[in-house]
Amino acid sequence: MAVILEVCLEGIDSALAAQEGGAQRIELCAGLVEGGTTPSFGMMVQARDRLELAIHAIIRPRGGDSCYSEAEFAVMEQDISFAKDLGLDGVVFGVQTADGRVDRERTAALINLARPLSVTFHRAFDHTPDPFEALDVLADLGADRVLTSGQAPTVSEGLELICRLQAAADGRLKVMPGSGIDIGNAAEIIKSSGVAEIHVGGGVAEVVPERSRVRNPEVPMSASNQGFERRTSAEKVRELVGLLNSL
């Protein structure tokens, strides 16, 4: 397939569903309600043992911004070392300075530590004040790709900037659109931008009820306490893969 499909997900069941549906790669996360945080050691082990597709683990020690303390940065270094030791295929991270620009020194250090794994700079990119400057820095540092919604809530809204970034990248690194992509808009996004990879999450997920039949509404297990979970759908992944194969 010419276009690589990466599925952003949390949980081993979702990972298995993405593989069943034919995705080429997953971004393995915990805490998607926080925008994605580093998956546990156990999750990375089980994913590597059970999956044959490419696994990229997000390296994000907390929700919020991407300007990290010295202690948080040390955690990121340790987690990247774990991912390498476990035989994962790539890591996903973003590190910025207080003014929102790519932290060149720290990003270079993490890229060097991660090699030979593939490196994606995540949607912290969408908060930088000058996306073209950020793109040049990441290309110079040797990042493999940048994940972006075109500095808009969704890729459809940011498509004009994504097209400009794709042209500016000029093959130095991949521009991977992500946020709000689904079966209904994927073809248009790919044809308009010429990108070789797309990143999907909610667009291939389904809402499933929790397995437990017992719930105490007075004792929430999370801030949402909704009584259901979002899980990757093998059927929706398969449908999107079929579309991409037809382009």
How much is the pLDDT for 97?
97
Q: For each of the domains in the chain, give its residue range(s) and CATH number, in order of start.
A: 4-209 (3.20.20.380)
Q: List the one residue out of 84, 102, 81, 190 whose CA is nearest residue 146.
A: 102
How much is the pLDDT for 207?
86
How much is the pLDDT for 227?
58
Question: Average pLDDT of 217-246?
Answer: 82
Question: Average pLDDT of 201-222?
Answer: 78
How much is the pLDDT for 225?
53
Range from 94-98, 214-218, 229-233 carrying the lowest mean pLDDT: 214-218
Question: Average pLDDT of 61-90?
Answer: 97
**pLDDT of 168 higher than 90:** yes
Q: Are 73 and 34 in contact (CB under 8 A)?
A: no
Distance CA 20, CA 26 (A): 12
**pLDDT of 213 higher than 90:** no
Q: Are 103 and 124 in contact (CB under 8 A)?
A: no
Distance CA 28, CA 7 (A): 8
Task: Give the β-pairing of 228-232 and 205-209.
Answer: antiparallel
How much is the pLDDT for 71?
98
Q: List the one residue out of 234, 237, 212, 206 whose CA is nearest residue 225.
A: 212
pLDDT tens digits, residue range 5-53? 999 999 999 999 999 999 999 999 999 989 999 999 999 999 999 999 9
**pLDDT of 220 higher than 70:** no
Averaged confidence pLDDT in the chain: 94
Place of tokens 């909704």: 226
**pLDDT of 203 higher than 90:** yes
